[in-house]
Amino acid sequence: MQRFLRQNVFVLLGPILAVAIASFPLQLHMSLSRYQHYGLAIFFWGFCYIWQFIWFYRVTQLWTRLSFLLTGLYLASAGFLFYLNPWLDVSADLITSQMRTVRLILGVTYLAMTPPIFFVWFMSYLEERKH
């Protein structure tokens, strides 16, 4: 158990950091929409996966490395998109039809990226069971 905690420290730290950021009322200190606030939390969660990939590159197997990298890029890019595009909120005012189309394309794209990431995590699980 101690080995697991030591080797996955950033993966375990990510959700804790994300919840802390989402819980802290950043809107009192800077101008942020709700989606920008959530975007910051998701970005830092993804950044912890990327940091896990970098920090433990030499001690992890191929599929585990890929799972950390892909999950980190997925979460960090989603958070970055939420931060840069606060109009992605469904209840946003003054949204154009072009913005609705972009929102739909982004949603479908991120949904389509989920099965490959799941496959990589499954291969990582199988790889870890061998060792």
The amino acid occupying position 93 is D
To the nearest whole number, what is the mean pLDDT of the chain?
Answer: 90
Domain range annotation of the chain: 2-130
Q: What's the pLDDT at 17? A: 93
pTM: 0.88
- Which of the four pLDDT bands, split at 50, 70 and 90, describes residue 29? confident
The angle at the Cα of 11, spanning 48 to 113, to the nearest 5 degrees, equals 75
- Which of the four pLDDT bands, split at 50, 70 and 90, describes residue 9? confident
- Which of the four pLDDT bands, split at 50, 70 and 90, describes residue 131? confident
The predicted-structure confidence for 31-77, as pLDDT tens digits, reads as follows 888 889 999 999 999 999 999 999 999 989 999 999 999 999 999 99
Q: What's the pLDDT at 80? A: 96
Q: For residue 114, is pLDDT > 80?
A: yes
Give CA separation, 30 vs 37, 43, 45, in Å.
Answer: 10, 18, 21
Q: Where are the alpha helices (DSSP H) in the chain?
A: 2-7, 9-23, 34-55, 62-84, 97-130
Please state, for a pLDDT cut of 70, what percent of the chain lies above it: 97
